[in-house]
Chain A
Amino acid sequence: MNKTIKQIVIGILMLAIFIPTISFAKKIKVVATLPDLASITEAVGGANVELSAICKGYQDPHYLQAKPSYARKMNNVDLLVFNGLELEIGWLPPLIDVARNPQIRPGKIGCLDCSEGIELLEVPTGKIDRSKGDIHPLGNPHYTLDPRNGIKVAETIANRLAEIDPENGDEYFRNFDNFKSMMDVKIYEWEEKAKLFKGLEIVTYHKQWEYLTNWLGLSIEGYLENRPGIPPSPRHLKSFVEMIDQRGIQILLAANYVDVSQAKKAADRSKAKLIILPTLVKGKEFIKSYTDLFDYLIEQLIENMEE
């Protein structure tokens, strides 16, 4: 009997020692504004990171509502990872205020702008105003559509995670190295496949595909939105359709969250084929990671080219 009690006591003591180290090993809590950034953070942070994303893959990241429930997600995190370049300016600042988390306030270690170090496209020069539509004064913010930028973002995130959690710093850098090696191989494969349509002239709905087309060597010849964020006027739609047919352009590219009725009108009235594609991870149910996104984008471009 005494032996049994002794064994139970020893068992409880063992559990008391090991349970905290197993169950309560502190994870770095991260919230990412975009699912792309969440996917990259997951690759770099690995098991040390507990992750959530705000924007869904099928939402337009420009126009989220600043729901307090999003602020709830941000209330107890150690790190906020965001796209920057004012992509989230319409909803992130009030969320940061409502979240009441001093760790993620601008300037704090838990506030990470992933656009740092990115080679930006379309940085406006000269005077800008809103007569030009919803332009981004700091440059085109859709840089995650170039997977080479994804690698830079991963490095930025690894550095910051190591700063916040130095004990696991080596692991974050090792994860980054693995991610980079994997991406280098994938980028080579994607670029090889994309040679099929290099130099192809296309048109797009919104100014958001530049990083992708710049990387793959496609040429954007016009936009259905002649001013970003402003729907096309009937006059612009007419001249846009004429331009498509004159130039023999075959593809009109649109994101899966835009108002496709205008894009359908343009495609119906011209010889161009409308291709609706996701721009973010989880934009389709089966796009679960950053690499899945590019696998799908390249596959769709090739498929539609072949048709």
Chain B
Amino acid sequence: MKKCCIFTIFIISTSMTLLFGQSTTASGASNVMNPAISANGLFLGVAHNPISDEETNGFKIQEMELQFTSIVDPFFKADVVMALHPPHDEDHHGMSIDIEEGYLMFQSLPRGFGLRTGKFLLPFGKHNSLHTHQTPFVNAPIGVEDIFGHHAAADVGFELSYSIPLPWYSEILGILIDGDANELFDKESNQPATGGRFSNLWDISDNSTIEFGSSVLYGPKDENSIITLYGADFTFKWKDIRKVYGKAFTWQNEFLSYANGDHAGFYSIIQYKFTRRWWTSAGFSQAIEEKTSEYKTQIAFVPSEFSAVRLELVYTDFENGDANIAVYLQMNFTIGSHPAHKY
């Protein structure tokens, strides 16, 4: 009798365990370990005068971005950013899908060191490390676009960085990449490309910082030659830290050039937050070899950190004396758990 009771209790307890344990164990449908997921949408209204060959007038989806972020295990953290956007070349229609970034960050390196591997935006200057929804204006400055193309350049490889122990923030990093980023290098070449960045940031007061950076990329142009791209940047930021919704000001400048002088460009941008929800910006950029200059101004309504409406006027002055005026109206939104942006 006693044995029978024990057996019955064993069967019941085992059944209960199976019954209540199966919800996730058996189905594998637990969402506890899901990554942080977010989507960002950029809708754009465009009007050019005269009509532009490169961009049609009308309304379009500029980009839809999906981001996944999570700790992988005690050793790695991962970020994956995918973007859907209109194709960059005229031969294709519909939408293109890009893996903008997809990399692992090592979590257990010695103090001061950082290592990531995978596909990442090239750490060259300030503008190229921004995703489209983060850029100060709707499009990249013409001086940057002339070298990197319409979209920020990304490539697959390794990035090793080191935070130099100085009284201010100082970082040096080096990359080894496949050499397939945008149109920068010869895609047919089997040689990898390399690069580096050295940046220093000082707090000049509680409210303001200045940052100086220099960058270099070095890779194959064709089977017989190598190209080197240099860059220098300077950024000043001010924000009254006593007031959450107070005024803020940013002045960002960047110069980039190929060593052989093929292409060079620069831009200078100021952004001013004058009330809790309103920003205004102005910028000047030049593609030096193309002798094309660009003047931009923008007003942005930013109800929260998850949405913004931006109205932008762009005047472009081409080498041959032609000019183009463009008006952009952009709606930017973010849903889900989007990681905080870097400074």
Chain A residues engaging chain B, CB cutoff 8 angstroms: 56, 58-60, 62-69, 71-72, 75-76, 89-91, 93-94, 97-103, 105-107, 130, 134, 229-231, 257-259
Contacts and interface: CB of A to CB of B under 8 A. Distances in A.
Contacts of A71: 163, 169
B201 interface: yes
Contacts of A106: 71
A12 to B, nearest CB: 30
The B contact surface, by secondary structure, is loop
Interface residues of B, number: 39
B201 A68 contact: yes
A91 B107 contact: no
Interface in B316-343: 339-343
Contacts, number: 94
Interface stretch (B48-56, B118-126, B239-247): B239-247
Contact of A68 (B74, B162, B343): B343
Interface stretch (B108-116, B176-184, B214-222): B108-116
Contact of B245 (A98, A107, A259): A259
Contact of A100 (B74, B112, B168, B305): B112
Interface of B: 71, 74, 77, 105, 107-114, 161-163, 165, 168-169, 171, 201-203, 206, 209, 239, 241-245, 276, 304-306, 339-343
A60 B276 CA distance: 15
A76 B111 contact: yes
Given A75-B163, A76-B165, A93-B339, A63 B113 contact: no
B206 A257 contact: no
What are the 3 tightest A-B residue pairs by CB atom distance, in nearest-first order?
Answer: A68-B169, A60-B244, A100-B114
A103 B107 CA distance: 9
Contact of A66 (B305, B306, B343): B343
A66 B340 contact: yes
A85 B155 CA distance: 36
A72 B241 contact: no
B340 A69 contact: no
Contacts of B341: 66, 94
A229 B161 CA distance: 36
B239 A229 contact: no
Q: Looking at B168, B209, B243, which has the most chain A CB atoms within 10 Å of its CB?
A: B243
Given A58-B242, A99-B163, A257-B244, A90 B340 contact: yes
Nearest to B203: A69
30 contacts: A56-B241, A63-B244, A64-B241, A66-B343, A67-B201, A68-B169, A68-B201, A69-B202, A71-B169, A75-B163, A75-B165, A76-B111, A93-B340, A94-B339, A97-B105, A98-B163, A100-B109, A100-B111, A101-B111, A102-B108, A103-B111, A105-B107, A105-B108, A106-B71, A134-B304, A231-B245, A258-B244, A259-B243, A259-B244, A259-B245
